């Protein structure tokens, strides 16, 4: 089961609104390399892991990713919450306003809604882990693109943190992959 903890994995405290940045960052929630896909990917794949270490690793990383979703959504929320309709129009977010107001909805930065087809779960530990390693690498690059676009330290710091978590997860998945390969799975 899951329990709620009233804190974020890393502080998000953005004082300056930035509508364009919000439009970009939402992809880290609902885009193809986003945290929602990551959380659901590992959550689903954990049932197919053959050993205790694999079940633990996938379950633990899935849980962590659910926390990252809350971080990303907090960033988007803080970036848009005080925006006027005029400002949203100017930033090209009028279509976003039409669909979601100032609410949070999982899409990529082009407004394409999240879909479960962004991840797979094929029930084979090596195949699943190979996908996980690729997913972490792509998410890392997505965060690098977001960091390139960001100008506010309050935005850059949480993005750096999230990027580094992708690096750590990639390394752990790789380790498990190599172990399973040796074990003959």
Partner 1 sequence: MLFEFETNIYDIEPSKLYGLDEGFEKGNMFPEIYEGYKNYKPKHIEPHNERESLLLRIMMLDFAMNDLNLYLALHPNDEACFEKFKQIAKNLKHCTNEYNQKYQVLELCDDTFASYSWNSNPWPWEGEHV
- Give the footprint of partner 1 on this chain (CB under 8 A): 3-14, 53, 56-57, 60-61, 64, 70, 73-74, 77-78, 144, 147, 153, 156-157, 160-165, 167-169, 171-172, 175-176, 179
Nearer to partner 1 (CB atom), residue 112 or residue 167: 167
Q: Work out how close the CB of 52 gets to partner 1 at its nearest, in angstroms, rounded to a whole number.
A: 8
Based on CB atoms, which residue is closest to partner 1, 28 or 73?
Answer: 73
Closest separation between CB of residue 106 and partner 1, Å? 15
Closest approach of partner 1 to the CB of residue 180, in Å: 11
User: Cβ closer to partner 1: 98 or 126?
Assistant: 126
Minimum distance, C-beta of residue 117 to partner 1, in the bound complex (Å): 27
Nearer to partner 1, 90 or 175 (CB): 175
SS3 8: coil
Sign of dihedral through CA atoms 109, 131, 163, 66? positive
Distance, CA of 174 to CA of 184 (rounded, Å): 15
| C-alpha span between 160 and 151 (Å, rounded) | 13
**Phi/psi at 124 (nearest 5 deg)?**
-120, 120
Burial of 152-164, coded b for 16+ CB within 10 Å and e otherwise, reads eebbebbbebbbe
- Is residue 5 helix, strand or coil? coil
């Amino acid at each position: 089961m899951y329990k709620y903890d009233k804190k974020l994995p890393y502080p998000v405290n953005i004082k300056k609104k930035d509508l364009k940045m919000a439009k970009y960052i939402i992809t880290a929630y609902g885009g193809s390399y986003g945290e929602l896909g990551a959380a659901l990917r590992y959550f689903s794949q954990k049932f197919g892991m053959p050993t205790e270490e694999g079940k633990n690793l996938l379950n633990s990383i899935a849980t962590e990713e659910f926390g990252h979703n809350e971080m990303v959504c907090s960033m988007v929320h803080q970036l848009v919450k005080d925006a006027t309709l005029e400002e949203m129009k100017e930033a090209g977010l009028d279509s976003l306003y039409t669909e979601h107001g100032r609410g949070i909805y999982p899409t990529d930065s082009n407004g394409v809604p999240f879909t479960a087809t962004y991840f797979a779960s094929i029930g084979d530990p090596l195949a699943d882990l190979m996908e996980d390693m690729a997913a972490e690498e792509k998410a890392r690059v997505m965060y690098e693109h977001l960091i390139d676009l960001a100008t506010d330290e309050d935005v850059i710091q949480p993005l750096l943190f999230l990027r580094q978590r992708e690096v750590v997860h990639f390394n752990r998945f790789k380790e498990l992959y190599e172990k399973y390969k040796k074990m003959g799975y």
